[in-house]
Amino acid sequence: MRGGSPWRYPARLVPIAFLGAIAVGTALMMLPAARAEPGHAPFVVALFTATSAVCVTGLSVVDTPTYWSGFGEVLLTVLSQIGGFGIMTLATLLGLLVSRRLGLRSRLLVQAESAGLLSGNIGGVLVRVAIVMFASEAVISVVLALRFWLAYDYPFGRAVWEAVFHAVQAFNNAGFALYPDSLVRFVGDWWICVPLSLGVLTGSVGFPVLFELAREWRTPGFWSTHTRLTVWGTVLLSGVGFLAFLVFEWSNPGTLGPLSTPSKVLAAFTQDVMTRSGGFNSIDLGRMNTETVAVTNGMMFIGGGSASTAGGIKITTFLLLAYVIWAEIRGEPDVVISKRRIADETQRQAVTVALLGVALVSAGTLALIALTEDVPFDRALFEVTSAFATVGLSTGITATLPPSAQVVLVILMFVGRVGTIAVGTAIALNTRRRNYRYPEERPLVG
């Protein structure tokens, strides 16, 4: 291909693909058939909803079960599935492309380190992603359908539809719900909250990790550095978030306070999982304590695994920065993880992604405050972080924001969804080797 074709510049593939899907989704959501009431949805409402679905965020400016018709709910399901499948496949394929652009020696090292994952063909990758996605959603759907039908006396057809809808939303980390209170009514139901939480976890670790765990789950010593960082980082962050919710909300009458001890444990587990990308909530987020809100902001910003349906700067980025800081404190010349030296290019990539994330959240928060009159700083920061990290949690102010502020969230959802992948791929593919180096200089730091 010649000229400015996106195939010549693969980092452009993700934003172009998602822009196309959002444009088509917006047009479809504006059809009168997609709305429960007569008439079509306003452009901003359709754009916001389509962006939120394709970018698997879950934020909404309207009440999903009452505003959208059955056709509209089907559109939400399809757009969320397209967004989740697209982000997993495109991110994985770009990783495959990056590995093939390396030199022979580096490529062999990457393939050995990744247990052969990046040596497959494109068709095989697509098929494996589809199998994992649809199998996971099918299992969740069966469990939820039986629960809705047998325990809540839903008609069988309704039980199946709501099970499929929420299973797709869970695995794709989208977070749309067919209930005005999300999962609050099911806060103590283990058969609803646990399958959805496990679906969110499965989708949030990333296909490369899922594939490697399926092959090497009995031999963690052979896991790649990426899988180690993702798995143990997920365990660490889940533990911190779970304990934070229990400690800070245990006696809060607006959240965990009125619940029994088993229900408190379940609610803390569910909300911890959903905080890093799921988008569902089983407690009233608007009544959380300030300390919990702060922890939630941090967890949302970090997000889930690379090449997953989760958002944020990603767990690997966060842990890489932690290792960089630790090596610098100890005066180590190299950053080493599991007896593997981390390349300088990878370190710069992590710093770039993290700082761009901070800049976007900061700018988005200032824009939201400037465009609204009475939104407190903490609420604006929460909403912006949720949009950037494509989490979908809200303290309830999304629908009350003016259209200009909602457009800011649309931009953040799009950039947050495709930005880290596009930036990371561009840096990896544009890294150049020079045959010379300039004299070294040491500016004062700190």
pLDDT, residue 121, reads 60
Rounded Cα gap, residues 91 and 69, in angstroms = 33
Average pLDDT estimate for 405-429: 79
pLDDT, residue 5, reads 46
* Confidence bin at 6 (pLDDT 50/70/90): very low
Rounded Cα gap, residues 368 and 366, in angstroms = 5
Per-residue H/E/C for 81-148: HHHHHHHHHHHHHHHHHHHHHCCHHHHHHHHHHCCCHHHCCHHHHHHHHHHHHHHHHHHHHHHHHHHH
The two three-digit tokens of residue 317, written as one number? 């980025």
Q: Is the pLDDT of residue 91 over 80?
A: no
Average pLDDT estimate for 67-78: 95
Q: Is the pLDDT of residue 115 over 50?
A: no
413 C-beta neighbours (distance < 10 Å), count = 28
The number of folded domains in the chain is: 1
Q: What is the tens place of the pLDDT at every residue in 345-377?
A: 888 888 988 999 999 999 999 999 999 878 899
Let me know if residue 2 belongs to a domain. Answer: no
β-bridge partners, 337: 340
* Confidence bin at 116 (pLDDT 50/70/90): very low
pLDDT, residue 265, reads 96
Q: Is the pLDDT of residue 422 over 80?
A: no
27 C-beta neighbours (distance < 10 Å), count = 13
* Confidence bin at 98 (pLDDT 50/70/90): low
Q: Are the beta carbons of 32 and 72 closer than 8 angstroms?
A: no
* Confidence bin at 224 (pLDDT 50/70/90): confident
Which is more confident, 247 or 117? Answer: 247
Burial (CB count <10 Å: 0-12, 13-18, 19+), residue 225: middle
Q: Is the pLDDT of residue 229 over 80?
A: yes
Domain of 92, in residue numbers: 10-430
Let me know if residue 1 belongs to a domain. Answer: no
pLDDT, residue 13, reads 72
Let me know if residue 260 belongs to a domain. Answer: yes
* Confidence bin at 83 (pLDDT 50/70/90): confident
pLDDT, residue 424, reads 61
Q: What is the tens place of the pLDDT at every residue in 393-405?
A: 998 889 899 999 9
Q: What is the tens place of the pLDDT at every residue in 167-223?
A: 999 999 988 999 998 999 999 999 999 999 999 999 998 888 888 888 888 888 888
pLDDT, residue 193, reads 96
* Confidence bin at 433 (pLDDT 50/70/90): low
Q: Percent of the chain scored above 90 by pLDDT?
A: 56
Let me know if residue 203 belongs to a domain. Answer: yes
* Cα–Cα distances in angstroms (integers) from residue 337 to residues 108, 115, 310, 367, in the given order: 19, 17, 24, 39
Q: Is the pLDDT of residue 11 over 70?
A: no
Lowest mean pLDDT among 8-17, 43-52, 277-286, 287-296: 8-17
pLDDT, residue 3, reads 47
* Confidence bin at 256 (pLDDT 50/70/90): very high
Q: Is the pLDDT of residue 291 over 50?
A: yes
Lowest mean pLDDT among 163-177, 288-302, 338-352, 423-437: 423-437
* Cα–Cα distances in angstroms (integers) from residue 318 to residues 226, 274, 299, in the given order: 12, 19, 11
Let me know if residue 439 belongs to a domain. Answer: no
pLDDT, residue 109, reads 38
pLDDT, residue 128, reads 82
Which is more confident, 154 or 308? Answer: 154
Instruction: Determine if residue 283 is left, alpha or beta; phi over 0 gives left, psi from -120 to 50 gives alpha, anything else beta.
Output: beta
Tell me what the pLDDT averaged over the chain comes to. 85
Q: Can you tell me which residue has the tokens 């919990």?
A: 292
Is the pTM higher than 0.85? The answer reads: yes
Rounded Cα gap, residues 168 and 75, in angstroms = 12
Let me know if residue 444 belongs to a domain. Answer: no
241 C-beta neighbours (distance < 10 Å), count = 24
Residues 6 or more apart in contact with residue 157 via CB below 8 angstroms? none
pLDDT, residue 258, reads 94
* Confidence bin at 283 (pLDDT 50/70/90): very high
From the list 66, 62, 124, 87, the residue with the least C-alpha distance to 304 is 87
Average pLDDT estimate for 326-349: 87
Let me know if residue 435 belongs to a domain. Answer: no
Rounded Cα gap, residues 111 and 226, in angstroms = 12
> DSSP string of 244-293?
HHHHHHTT-TTTTTTS-HHHHHHHHHHHHHIIIII---SS-GGG--HHHH
Rounded Cα gap, residues 300 and 372, in angstroms = 23
